[in-house]
Chain A
Amino acid sequence: MKIATLSSKKLGDSYEGSLKNNYLYQGGYSEMDDDIGWHDFMLRNYDAQIGRWVQQDPYQEFATSYTYVGNDPINLTDPTGGLSWPPPGLGKVVSSASGSVGNVLTISGQVGSAVNLLSKVSIIINTVSTAVNIISSAVEIKQVGKQVAGSSANNGEPGPVYGMGFWYNFGKGFKDGGVDTWNFVESLKTRRGWVNLLDGLNNINPMGVWTPEKVSFYASTPDLIMEELKKIPNMTIDDWGYAAGYGGEKVIEILLANKAAAVIKAKLVEVAPAAKGVGRIQAGSLKEFKSLVKQLSKPGSQLTKSELQQFEKLTQQFGGKLRYDLNPVKGKILQPHVQVEGLGTSVGSRHIWVGQ
């Protein structure tokens, strides 16, 4: 009873009729659902009454799947209900460099929503990479003595094609920059992508302090970058073309970053079901279990290790067991799989694919 009396919901009820703010929890990351009292995040619902997520952690980030940021709300936040922020290890990296985990939030420009977080990080990383990549590209080109060479700007792809002129290399640089951008966006589907992003930020700016003013400065001064390029001696017209094209793409990237955030968000949502892991290993009845088995036996539905454990437990709950066949040696399909025993031969014929 005491809990009910002291709960935030009770407090809320007493203010019924007043102007409501549905964006209470973690700022603008979630919207309060009045009917059930849950905070609706991108990937999960949070019940502030009990201080727990309502659904399991789609990424199995912590030992228990329902706790908020592993019970470490001082150092971590969770903008989507998916991965906590900053990812493990990054807080230490940044804090060791800057003296404060809080600077991670400074990096994001004190964002008020997941979208803003994504967009601002996008702006920052790409703005920074604009400067660093173009300059390092030019420097490396110079260092290798005008040979066609990979550079940090384009992840090892060949740089300018010498003798082809400014405009040819402008197009090539632009295209390579576009590939980089796409790869960057794609990488944000994964935890590793986010780790790389902040690792990259830390490498570029060892002090780890990116204020909104600095971001704005870099975002609004592509001319400065070009001026810096001009200071590098012995650049050929091909170097110039490539660098200008690459830089041009990056400038456009900066301008579009806010719009791209919606795309990134959509991609995160798109990838979330696959990443949800244990979220899909659920069945409330034998009928649902059989339906689940059918779903899991579709091509491309490989179980992760943790999913397999969940699935085995679930199978046992319904009175069945798994027969493991992780090393088929001859046959049409040789993927590792398990099969359900004891719950009927129809479901037993299905192959539950296990990731390598």
Chain B
Amino acid sequence: MEEQLIIDFLQSFFNLFKARIEEYKISDNKIFGILGWLNEDDKQNFILKTNFDIFFIFKAKLLCDYLLENNFIDGDKIVVSESDLVLRLIKDGWKENEANEAINFLCSFDVKMVDEGEETDSFYIHF
């Protein structure tokens, strides 16, 4: 259940980068996986250490979906201000504390890219 929550969130998170999880495995509190992109041959290995608070996962997934649906993301950047985003979320039925918590969680979250066995860049979202 918990594992599926994380994977669902991860897929929503990677949707922001137009990527999809093609393979993954979970071992020692880490998720190892491979991403693919539509119409591209490139693949990207990634690793996620699952030592974060799972409490916010569900809302963070909804936030990712919300950002994508509303075209609020450009590359890795949320293109509306944080206060605007909170107001819009509230307007769409979110509680203020939930919106803030989800935003804070998402802004502190990153997934490491792995190139030739070496952790290099990261997938992350920021304002």
Identify the A interface with B (CB < 8 A). Answer: 290, 294, 297-299, 323, 325, 328-334, 339, 341, 344-351
CA distance A331 to B113 in the complex (A): 17
Contact pick for A299, options B76, B108, B120, CB 8 Å: B120
| Residues of B with C-beta under 8 A to A345 | 17-19, 37-38, 40
CA distance A345 to B76 in the complex (A): 11
Further contacts, 19 of them, CB under 8 A, given A331-B108, A346-B19, A349-B121: A290-B42, A294-B115, A297-B121, A298-B120, A325-B75, A328-B127, A330-B107, A331-B127, A332-B107, A332-B122, A332-B126, A334-B126, A345-B38, A345-B40, A348-B75, A349-B75, A349-B76, A349-B113, A350-B121
CA distance A329 to B126 in the complex (A): 7
CA distance A333 to B107 in the complex (A): 9
Interface bracket on B: 20 to 34
**Interface of chain A: mostly helix, strand, loop or mixed:** loop
Q: Is B124 an interface residue (CB 8 A)?
A: yes
CB of A297 within 8 A of CB of B123, answer: no
**Nearest Cβ in chain A — how far from B111, in angstroms?**
10
Q: In this complex, what residue of A is CB-closest to B109?
A: A332
Interface residues of B in 93-127 (CB under 8 A from A): 107-110, 113, 115, 120-127
List the 10 shortest-distance A-B pairs measured between CB atoms, nearest first. Answer: A331-B126, A346-B42, A297-B121, A330-B127, A345-B18, A328-B126, A332-B124, A331-B107, A339-B75, A332-B110
**Nearest Cβ in chain B — how far from A221, in angstroms?**
54
| Residues of B with C-beta under 8 A to A350 | 113, 121
Contact sample, A vs B, 20 pairs, CB 8 Å cutoff: A290-B42, A294-B115, A297-B120, A329-B126, A330-B126, A331-B108, A332-B108, A332-B109, A333-B110, A345-B17, A345-B38, A348-B17, A348-B75, A349-B19, A349-B75, A349-B76, A349-B113, A349-B121, A350-B113, A351-B121
**Nearest Cβ in chain B — how far from A286, in angstroms?**
11
| Residues of A with C-beta under 8 A to B40 | 344-346
